[in-house]
Each structure stands twice: as structure tokens, then as C-alpha cells.
């Protein structure tokens, strides 16, 4: 299916310009994915809402891999072994299978934040567990 979309130019700039829409821009995010067979897997997409000044969520992990997109505001983000960082609206993150998500919270004491998180994992396995 993806190959058909690419062949038709859906992800290229030519088709978008021909239809009068905005030409394609550089990718927002690119990251290699783990070498996993996806038979028996599913994706769960959730919108996480962080109220202004809310405490960060406790450390946790996911059974598969996670792609996240900051919809609104800014969040603090840190995986075990990595630096703590602030991700703002329009930025994405990746969590490898089994990564421990140490910090996940709102970076602002005055503005809310929202994140779209997509967890790819085997069917029937809890999507989040304590670290």
C-alpha cells in the first residue's frame, strides 16, 4: 500500500502541487525502526493531556516501540541513558522497545500540553507498565 502511494506521488511534492495544495516540506521526523515482524501486533493511539504545572508521570515502559507527536505546548522528555529535553508542538519522539521513559510531563507551569502517542506492540500485552 505504501509503495502504491509513493508511486502515485502522494508523498512527493509533484502531486500536491498539481492539486493546488501546499508543496511537500522536509520530513518532521525520521528514525530507523526495530527489526520486528509485525504479525500479531497492533497500534494503539492515545492523546495525552498535561495540565499546566502538573507533576510528571512516574517512570514507565512500553512493550513495543512508541512514536509520539507534540500537538500543543511543550513537554519534558527523557529516556533512560539519554538527556532530558524539552519537545515543543510539531516535534516528535521515538521510544525503542523496552525503553524506560523516565520523564514525561508538561514543561510549562502556565500552559497545557498535548501529545499523540502511538504504541506499536503485540496484541493483548499491556501498553504501559511501571519501570
What number of other Cβ atoms are within 10 A of residue 96's Cβ? 14
pTM for the model stands at 0.78
What is the SS3 string spanning 99-120?
CEEEEEEECCCCCCEEEEEEEE
Domain ranges in the chain are 1-27, 31-130
Closest among 116, 104, 91 to 61, alpha carbons compared:
104
3-state secondary structure of 16: helix
The domain over range 31-130 is classified in CATH as 2.60.120.10: yes
pLDDT computed for residue 52 by the predictor: 95
**13 has pLDDT over 70:** no
Instruction: Specify the DSSP element, H or E, that contains 129.
Output: strand 129-130
| Distance, CA of 67 to CA of 60 (rounded, Å) | 15
Is the predicted pLDDT of residue 110 greater than 90, yes or no? yes
- Please report the pLDDT score of residue 37 as a whole number: 87
Highest mean pLDDT among 3-12, 17-26, 35-44: 35-44
pLDDT tops 70 at residue 32? yes
Amino acid at each position: 500500500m505504501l509503495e502504491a502511494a509513493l508511486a502515485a506521488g502522494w508523498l512527493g511534492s509533484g502531486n500536491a502541487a498539481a492539486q493546488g495544495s501546499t508543496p511537500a516540506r522536509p520530513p518532521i521526523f525520521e528514525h530507523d525502526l526495530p527489526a520486528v515482524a509485525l504479525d500479531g501486533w497492533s497500534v494503539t493511539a492515545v492523546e495525552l493531556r498535561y495540565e499546566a504545572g502538573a507533576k510528571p508521570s512516574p517512570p514507565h515502559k512500553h512493550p513495543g516501540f512508541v512514536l509520539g507527536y507534540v500537538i500543543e505546548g511543550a513537554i519534558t522528555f527523557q529516556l533512560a541513558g539519554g538527556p532530558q529535553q524539552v519537545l515543543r508542538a510539531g516535534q516528535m519522539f521515538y521510544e525503542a522497545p523496552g525503553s524506560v521513559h523516565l520523564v514525561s510531563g508538561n514543561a510549562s507551569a502556565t500552559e497545557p500540553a498535548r501529545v499523540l502517542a502511538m504504541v506499536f506492540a503485540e496484541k493483548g500485552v499491556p501498553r504501559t507498565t511501571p519501570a
